[in-house]
Amino acid sequence: MLSQVSRSLETISQKQVQSNLAAATSILAGLVLNRETIKKILRSDIMRESVIYQDILEEGREEGKEEGKEEKARQIALKMLSAGFPIPEIAQFTDLSPDAIEQLQSRDD
């Protein structure tokens, strides 16, 4: 079935429409097929041109950046705790909640 869809996608002359449909097909196929099977059947170069694919990629990058910032804040908080800074001051400098800092403190003990 996915092979038929892939062949049909290749007949679409408008690149943007083709890319968007390929990305949507890949997303839906991912619900029932493994990644390797999808990669073998669908051309990834077409999907990369899709605005849907680009949006998903950008969302992933933003989530990664946010997770990185949060991890850095936790590392700084741990260093400040070990240096004896009070929790309210650590919260002020790291934007972590006092509860989150207390949890870090209890894990570090």
pLDDT tens digits, the chain, 109 residues: what are they? 777 877 787 888 888 888 878 877 877 777 777 878 777 766 666 667 777 778 888 999 999 999 999 999 999 999 999 999 999 999 999 999 999 999 999 987 6
State residue 109's pLDDT score.
64
Q: Which amino acid type is present at position 25?
A: T
Q: Where are the domains of the chain?
A: 1-49, 64-109
